[in-house]
Structure 1
Amino acid sequence: MMDQLATQLNRERIQAVESSFGPAGKPLLQPDRVLVGEGRLMKLCRRKQQPKVFFLFNDVLIYGTIILHGRWHKKQQIIPLEDVQLEDLEDSLIMKNQWLIRTPRKSFYVGAASLEEKRAWMEHIEDCRSRLLQTVGCQAGSTFAVTWIPDRASAICMRCSDKFSTTLRRHHCRNCGFVVCASCSKHRHVIAHIDPAKPVRVCRLCHTALVSQKAEMTTQVRVETQQEVRRWSGGSEGQSSYGYNMPSSDETDSDEGELAPNRWLDSQDVTWSPYVYLKSEHEKPK
C-alpha cells in the first residue's frame, strides 16, 4: 500500500513538472523514473547571471527558464546523467557557491544560494549518476563542450584584437569558447559531440585545426582500409586479387530573481563477402 502511494505521488510530481513546460516541453513520464529534487540555481549566461529552475531525476537533469513567478517554465533542456561531469570551484567575483556542469553539447557555471545547497546539489547529482551507471550499465561520457568565456570578459576580439562596439558584435567559437567577431568566426564545422549533423560556428584558427584533423583521420582510415583489403584479398600492393586497381594513398575525398529553497524527495563468426567496398559510389554487383 505504501509503495503504491509513493508511486502515485512520484507520478503526480513528474506530471506537474511536465505540465509546467507547456506543449513545447517533451514528455517526462517514464517507467522507473523518479523525481529526486528541484530548486533554483543561478546560471552564468554569456551576458549575465540568470535564475533557472532545475529538476533532478534519477536518470536526467532538466532545467529551464522561469516565467510567471515560477509557475511556468520554457526552453526545456534535458541532460542524461551519464553525460554529466561536475567540477567543484571556488567562489569568484561574479558568482558565489559555484560549480561547473559539463555536458557534450554545452558546459556552464551554476551557483547556489548557500554552500550547503551547493553541496547538496552536487552530492545528489553524483549519487544519481553513480547509481545509473551501475544499474543500467551505460558508459559515462568522455567528451565535453568547452565553457564559453563571458561577453564582458573581453572588450576585444580574441583573434584579431578589434574592439567590440554596437556594430562589431560578439560571438563565440564552439570549439575553443573564445569571444570573437563575425569576421573571425565566419567558418562553420561539424563538432560531433555538439551536433553530429549541423555545422556550428568556429573561429578561423579552430577551423584550420579541425580541417587538418579531419584530413589526417581520412588519410589514416584510407590506409587502414587498403591494408585490410590486401590482407583479406591476398593481392599485391596497388592491385587486389579481383582484378581492379586499388586507390593510391594520395587520393583525397572531396558548423531573474531570488533563489527559492530546494526540495529533495525522498562475438559471432563473420562471413566475408568477395566484394570489397572501397568508396561510397561503389555498388555491389547484382
Structure 2
Amino acid sequence: MEYHLAYTRANYERITAVENSFGAFGQPLMKPGRVLIAEGRLMKMCRRTHKPKMFFLFNDILVYGGIVMHSCWYSHQHIIPLEDIVIENQEDCPELQNHWLIRTPRKSFYVSAASLREKQEWIIHLEKYRAHQLTKSDRGPSGNLAAIWIPDRASEICMRCTDKFTVTQRRHHCRQCGFIVCNACSKCRFLIPTISSSPVRVCILCFNNLQEEKDRKDKGRNRWSDDFDCARPTYEVASEDETVERVESKWAGSQGPALPVGLKKHKK
C-alpha cells in the first residue's frame, strides 16, 4: 500500500520537509518511487556518550542526523541503503535498554528507543523494507560488516600494549577490530574500501593480518596470470604470411603513411 503513496502530494511534502531540515549540506532525498515510512528520535551510542539522533526510514534507505533544533534543523546527514543493513537484537543491560545493533559495511552502531514497543516497531519495519530491497536488487546480505567501536569509557588502558591512557596518551580506535588503542599501537594505515576511499587507522595486529591476506591474494592473482601466459599458444608466421607481410610493407613504403579507414586524403 505504501508504494501507492510514492507520487502523492503528502509524500512529496514530507520528503521535501526532511530535505529542507538538513539545509544546504544535506543530500537530495526526492526520488521516483521513494516513500517516507517513519521518523523518530533515537539515542545513538557514540564513542564517548549516548547522543540523540533523528532517524528517517524510507522504503529504500535509512537517513539520520544530529539534532540542532527538534523538528526544524538537523546536521551531519548520513544515508544508508537498506540492503546494506544487518539488524541484531540486543538484551537490555543497566546502561542501555530497548536497544539494538545496526551493522553496515561502512559503520556499525547501537541505537535505543524510548520504549520496548517503539524498538519492536523500528526493527519490524527495518527488516521488512530491507527484505524488499534485497528481493528487488537480487543480491544477498552484506558480508563484510564494519567492526563495532568499543566505547572510550570501557577501557582505561590500551587493549594491545596495556599502557594506561592519560591526558597526553589519547585513545584511538582500530577501524578493523574496533579496539581502543594508543597512538603507538595504531600508527599503521590500511585501505579498507568498504569504510573509506583513503587508508584508515588500524592497530598493528590487524595491519599484519590484513597485509598477509592481501599478499596471499596478490600471489594467487600472479600465479593465475603466469599459468594463463604458459597455456596461451604461440603463433609462428607461415611462409605465405611472410610473403603478404613483405608485400604490405613495400606498398606502405611506396604510398606514404597509411590513413585510418574512412579518412579522405585531400589533394594539395
Work out whether the TM-score is over 0.5.
Answer: yes
* Alignment partner of 1:182 is 2:183: yes
How far apart are 1:4 and its partner, in Å?
A: 7.9
How far apart are 1:94 and its partner, in Å?
A: 1.7
How far apart are 1:7 and its partner, in Å?
A: 1.1
Report the AA paired with residue 203 of structure 1.
C
Q: Matches of 1:72 and 1:120 in 2, distance apart?
A: 25
Report the AA paired with residue 219 of structure 2.
T
Report the AA paired with residue 83 of structure 2.
E
Q: Which shows bigger deviation, 206-215 or 114-123?
A: 206-215
In terms of fraction of residues, the more helix-rich structure is 2
Q: Matches of 2:30 and 2:142 in 1, distance apart?
A: 24
Root-mean-square deviation (CA, aligned residues, Å) is 1.7
Report % sequence identity: 51
Q: Matches of 1:77 and 1:242 in 2, distance apart?
A: 56
> For the structure 1 residues 125 and 48, does the alpha-carbon distance in structure 2 shift closer, same or farther, using more than 3 Å as the test?
same
Q: Does the 8 Å CA contact 2:6/2:33 hold for their aligned counterparts?
A: no
Structure number with greater Rg is: 2
Equivalent runs, 1:123-272 vs 2, <5 Å: 123-195=124-196, 197-231=197-231, 233-234=232-233, 241=234
Q: Matches of 1:5 and 1:77 in 2, distance apart?
A: 22
**TM-score (ref. length: structure 1):** 0.78
| 1:44-72 per-position Cα deviation (integer Å, ceiling 9, x unaligned) | 00001011000000000000000123420
How far apart are 1:136 and its partner, in Å?
A: 3.9
How far apart are 1:5 and its partner, in Å?
A: 9.9
Q: Which residue of 1 aligns with 2:45?
A: 44
Q: Matches of 1:93 and 1:193 in 2, distance apart?
A: 33
Q: Matches of 1:5 and 1:43 in 2, distance apart?
A: 29
How far apart are 1:134 and its partner, in Å?
A: 1.9
How far apart are 1:242 and its partner, in Å?
A: 6.5
| 1:165-189 per-position Cα deviation (integer Å, ceiling 9, x unaligned) | 1111100000010000111111100
Report the AA paired with residue 226 of structure 1.
D
Q: Matches of 1:215 and 1:94 in 2, distance apart?
A: 42
> For the structure 1 residues 205 and 96, does the alpha-carbon distance in structure 2 shift closer, same or farther, using more than 3 Å as the test?
same
How far apart are 1:141 and its partner, in Å?
A: 1.7
| 1:113-136 per-position Cα deviation (integer Å, ceiling 9, x unaligned) | 111011000000111111122234
**TM-score (ref. length: structure 2):** 0.83
Aligned residues: 233
Secondary structure of 1:120's counterpart equals helix
Report the AA paired with residue 205 of structure 2.
L
Q: Which residue of 1 aligns with 2:36?
A: 35
* Alignment partner of 1:110 is 2:111: yes
Q: Matches of 2:46 and 2:175 in 1, distance apart?
A: 15
Q: Which residue of 2 aligns with 1:17?
A: 18
Q: Does the 8 Å CA contact 2:6/2:35 hold for their aligned counterparts?
A: no
Secondary structure of 2:8's counterpart equals helix
Q: Matches of 1:242 and 1:103 in 2, distance apart?
A: 51
How far apart are 1:160 and its partner, in Å?
A: 1.0
Report the AA paired with residue 10 of structure 1.
N
| 1:193-227 per-position Cα deviation (integer Å, ceiling 9, x unaligned) | 112x3000001111111111111110011001111
> For the structure 1 residues 130 and 5, does the alpha-carbon distance in structure 2 shift closer, same or farther, using more than 3 Å as the test?
closer
Q: Matches of 1:81 and 1:112 in 2, distance apart?
A: 19
Q: Matches of 1:4 and 1:190 in 2, distance apart?
A: 42
Report the AA paired with residue 91 of structure 1.
D
Q: Which shows bigger deviation, 61-70 or 107-116?
A: 61-70
How far apart are 1:229 and its partner, in Å?
A: 2.3
Give ranges in structure 1 of 5+ residues lacking alignment. 235-240, 244-286
Q: Higher relative CO (CA 8 A, sep ≥ 6), structure 1 or 2?
A: 1
How far apart are 1:96 and its partner, in Å?
A: 0.4
Secondary structure of 1:126's counterpart equals helix
Q: Matches of 1:21 and 1:179 in 2, distance apart?
A: 32
> For the structure 1 residues 10 and 218, does the alpha-carbon distance in structure 2 shift closer, same or farther, using more than 3 Å as the test?
same
Secondary structure of 2:39's counterpart equals strand
